[in-house]
Amino acid sequence: MPGNIIELYSPEELARLERRVKRHRTALSVLAAAALAVCIALAAHVTTASAPKLELAAIAVSTLAGWVCIYDGIFIVGAGKKELRHAEMLRTEPRVRVEGRAAVTGERFTIRKSVGVRRVAIATEGGIEQALVQENHARLLEDPRVIAVYTAHSYVAAVEVGA
Amino acid sequence: MRVLKNIASQLHSFVLWLLLSAIFWGWIFSRATDTTFDKKLMVFCDVPHIEDTALAIALEEELPEGIRMIQVHPFSYVMFDTVSIEHADILIVPASDAGEIGARLLPLEGEGGAPVYDPVTGQGALLGYITYTDEPYYLYLGASSAHLEDGAAAQVARRMLAM
């Protein structure tokens, strides 16, 4: 009797991810525009007396806003977009059911221009089969009730949990 | 920990942004605190140390008609902007250097420069703003000043001698 199948890349999950990327992108645009507006206002009100302080303030505002944009742009928006691409690719691939006890092995590594992953060893009746699982889904495989995984393009795309 | 790791992996981007930000806003503020030669007075001082911003602020308390700002620069500033000194309105130079740039100097009144500092008595003008060396200093008008005819350069020069 088949168990419950948990989709790692369900439409709901993709929609949530898409919303998150969009939200952060909007926030970054607002932050960048606000920082620019503040700096322009500072430059517009400069006098000989206030110039050193206002210049320092403008540099501080643009630097801090830029650092937040760089961090968020690379590690949240950029990473989210990579995750979305990865998910889209897996959703269209044919799946293979591999029955057995799955265990995450080894350290995290990053597929070039894609997501962070970890290796998975699945102990089947015929021996050990290898797969990859996206880093932030690895914890799901620690559940002892997992009886099978569904792989697409060697990535774990869903897990089957027994009763 | 993860955040620190992420920051370390992009440290070059953060440093580069800081530099670009400082250069860009430095340039913007230098433009914002500048105007055309006919609307500003430029004072150049060949002295070891000068509180240029403080002196400019003090001089701007009584601007001659038609003048929007007064800029005070040490001679070392010429390294960055050779055009400005050619249009200098007021110059303070030590006796030993006056001969070298004599062609650029005009007396404020009569012959020779107006005495600014006497090393024998230690008395002089602008002592709160300028550190002099152990030689006499004189004030001159710039021969190419745009403010000889309107009297603005002479007006500010006289105030400087009285400060």
Strands (E), chain A: 4-7, 96-99, 101-110, 116-124, 127-134, 146-152, 155-161
Residues from chain B contacting residue A75 (CB–CB below 8 Å): 6
ipTM above 0.95, yes or no: no
pLDDT tens readout for residues B12-44: 999 999 999 999 999 999 888 888 889 999 999
Q: Please name every residue paired with B76 in a beta bridge, in sequence order, or none if there are none.
A: none
- Say whether residue A77 is in contact with chain B using an 8 A CB cutoff: no
Nearest to B67 by CA among B162, B155, B158: B155
Reduce the DSSP state of residue A71 to 3 states and report it: helix
Q: Could you tell me the two tokens for B108? A: 């404020």
CATH of span B35-162: 3.40.190.10
Interface with A, mutate which of B11, B14, B33 (most A CBs under 10 A): B33
Specify the pTM. 0.73
Place of tokens 């591999």: A98
| CB-based contact B17 A59, cutoff 8 Å | no
Residues 6+ apart with CB under 8 A from A38: A58, A61
CA of A79: which chain B residue's CA is closest?
A: B6
Q: Could you tell me the two tokens for A131? A: 């797969």
Domain locations in chain A? 4-92, 96-161
C-alpha distances out from residue A59 to A10, A63, B10, B28, Å: 44, 6, 20, 11
The reported pLDDT for the residue numbered B81 is 60
pLDDT tens readout for residues A37-78: 999 999 999 888 888 899 999 999 999 999 999 999 999 999
The answer to whether A155 and A131 have CB atoms below 8 angstroms apart is yes
C-alpha distances out from residue A63 to A26, A32, A33, B53, Å: 19, 11, 13, 25
Nearest to A7 by CA among A112, A122, A87, A107: A87
pLDDT tens readout for residues B87-140: 899 999 998 887 777 778 888 887 788 999 999 999 999 999 999 999 999 999
